[in-house]
């Protein structure tokens, strides 16, 4: 073994250190002794050893801290560190996490010698590194070695605090909430013009910015992160983001998770750039994957529970929950509420003639067209099968009839492509009802449903109102007919298919 390969031995117990030095010397090692972690760190940084042997628990700094310090310094990053201590999986785990080359239980001299020989063999195989510090500048260049230790421990504390804060975001239940809480944290530890996070699947873009320069910073963030204008986004605007119009280039990092990536985080610092900003963003990106994945899973589970997957509309259960709350609001404020129930005409014949794939296309088409016929405050849902329902808050009967007629015309004027390339016309029958005092949501929908069946009986592709139907209650007075019908000669899907239902 070459005499230039020195072993730096750090052990706080004088007698134990003396005995171990003698044993290692007999084995052919050149040993340099130190009594505590700080003294050993100084010795290692002043004169790089071939390998370091240190106790897991030592005065001043622990073996774990020493290991992380030496790994962070360019002159000692390649030096194998063998940590010694009590047995136990936990001690071995922390040694591995610190980057130790090996962990040896105290008293096992043979195992220690074998670990040292393997480590020294690796040093020899890697060759000299005399030029390493010439090309790599230490982040603590020019500091006293004790200041260097303090700086590294401060950096380790910074890293652990940031990591802990980001991991707490795993409790968020949506991307938007995660973005809000992340901006609240990051704005406390640095100053920036904007901060943004993108999620690859499903695509989502979050931006924290000062309202005074929103559009300019939005364009800058989109360019820096490669975000298209079509990507769905959430914007958080407050004074925690500075309103500087110019500044240094954005710092961007991909967000890893498992073997891939989930998105990107970007931060546009204000001038001058703080030296910790790149480290901050790198640390956040490293830890954000778990929280981002958890928020996405919660969103997906909620979407599955409330959304009809074929049409993208609310499902029956979610609609009834919303409509029940809206009914209470309408009753409390004596506001009007109307519902429209519609059923696709001759849908069974479409399935029989063109197949269920074309039938699904028809339903998906209806689901995409109906939201365009209503206001943003209205709710559209797939109620079951080929039946859909619209809830129209603050809308009396006549207004709901106009909405239903508009939707009827929209469907009548469009066609859906079948698998064989032919065009399949789509029509639907509509029933409309307005909420009566003391009525439940089930009763309201039932009246609209009966009106829809009346529209089917009256020739399909038309609008009927519940008020135009005979009142099923005994001794009820004759109802006043208020309904909207289709044009005199509507085009029915049955005519196209050749036959009547």
The residues annotated as belonging to the active site are 386
- Cβ distance 461 to 454 under 8 Å? no
Report the C-alpha gap between 256 and 19 in whole angstroms. 47
Neighbours of 334 (CB within 10 A): 7
Taking the alpha carbons of 220, 224, 228, 234 in that order, is the dihedral positive or negative? negative
Helices marked H in 391-457 — which ranges?
397-412, 441-457
Phi, psi values for residue 384, rounded to 5° = 150, 135
Q: Which residues contact 11 (CB under 8 A, 6 or more apart)?
A: 17, 20, 33, 35, 53, 54, 55
Q: Which two tokens stand for residue 401?
A: 């009839």
Helix, strand, or coil here: 339?
strand
215-244 CB burial, b ≥16 within 10 A, e <16: eebbebbbebbebeeeeebbbbeeebbbeb
Neighbours of 467 (CB within 10 A): 18
Which position has the token pair 């750039």?
Answer: 273
Q: Which pairs count as long-range contacts for 447-455, CB under 8 Å and 24+ apart, including other chains?
A: 448/339, 448/340, 448/341, 448/389, 449/341, 451/341, 451/483, 452/341, 452/342, 452/343, 452/387, 453/429, 455/429, 455/430, 455/431
Antiparallel, parallel or unpaired: β 233-237 and 204-209: parallel
Report the C-alpha gap between 452 and 371 in whole angstroms. 19
- Cβ distance 111 to 139 under 8 Å? no
Report the C-alpha gap between 102 and 80 in whole angstroms. 8
């Amino acid at each position: 073994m070459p005499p230039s390969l020195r072993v730096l031995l750090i052990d706080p117990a004088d007698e134990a250190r003396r005995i171990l030095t003698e044993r290692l010397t007999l084995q052919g090692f050149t040993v340099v002794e130190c009594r505590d972690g700080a003294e050993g760190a100084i010795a290692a940084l002043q004169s790089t050893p071939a390998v370091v042997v240190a106790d897991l628990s030592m005065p001043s700094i622990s073996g774990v801290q020493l290991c992380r310090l030496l790994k962070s310094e360019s002159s000692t990053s390649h030096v194998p560190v063998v940590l010694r201590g009590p047995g136990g999986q936990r001690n071995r785990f922390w040694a591995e996490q610190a980057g130790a080359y090996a962990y040896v239980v105290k008293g096992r001299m043979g195992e220690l010698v074998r670990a040292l020989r393997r480590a020294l063999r690796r040093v020899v195989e890697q060759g000299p590194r005399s030029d390493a510090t010439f090309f790599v500048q230490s982040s603590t260049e020019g500091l006293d070695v004790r200041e260097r230790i303090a700086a590294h421990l401060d950096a380790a504390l910074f890293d652990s605090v940031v990591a802990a804060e980001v991991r707490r975001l795993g409790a968020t239940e949506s991307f938007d909430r995660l973005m809000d809480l992340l901006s609240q944290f990051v704005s406390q530890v640095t100053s920036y013009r904007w901060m943004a996070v993108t999620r690859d699947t499903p695509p989502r873009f979050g931006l924290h910015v000062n309202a005074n320069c929103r559009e300019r910073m939005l364009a800058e963030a989109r360019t820096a992160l490669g975000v298209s204008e079509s990507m769905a986004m959430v914007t958080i605007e407050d004074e925690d983001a500075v309103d500087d119009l110019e500044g240094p280039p954005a710092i961007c990092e991909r967000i890893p998770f498992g073997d891939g990536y989930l998105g990107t985080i970007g931060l546009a610092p204000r001038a001058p750039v703080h030296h910790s900003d790149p480290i901050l963003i790198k640390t956040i990106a490293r830890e954000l994957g778990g929280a981002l994945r958890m928020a996405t899973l919660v969103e997906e589970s909620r979407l599955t529970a409330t959304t009809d997957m074929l049409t993208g509309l609310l499902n029956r259960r979610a609609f009834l929950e919303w409509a029940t709350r809206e009914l209470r609001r309408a009753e409390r404020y004596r506001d009007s509420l109307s519902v429209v129930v519609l059923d696709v005409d001759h849908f069974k014949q479409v399935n029989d003639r063109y197949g269920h794939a074309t039938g699904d296309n028809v339903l998906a088409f209806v689901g995409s067209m109906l939201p365009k016929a209503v206001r943003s405050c209205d709710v559209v849902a797939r109620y079951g099968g080929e039946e859909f329902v619209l809830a129209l808050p603050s809308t009396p009967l006549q207004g709901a009839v106009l909405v239903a007629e508009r939707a009827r015309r929209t469907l009548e004027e469009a066609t859906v492509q079948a698998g064989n390339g032919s065009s399949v016309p789509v029509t639907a029958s509509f029933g409309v009802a307005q909420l009566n005092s003391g009525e439940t949501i089930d009763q309201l929908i039932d009246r609209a449903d009966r009106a829809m069946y009346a529209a089917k009986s009256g020739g399909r592709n038309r609008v009927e109102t519940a008020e135009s139907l005979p009142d099923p209650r005994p001794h009820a007075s004759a109802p006043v007919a208020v309904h909207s019908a289709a044009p005199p000669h509507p085009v029915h899907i049955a005519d196209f298919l050749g036959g009547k239902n």
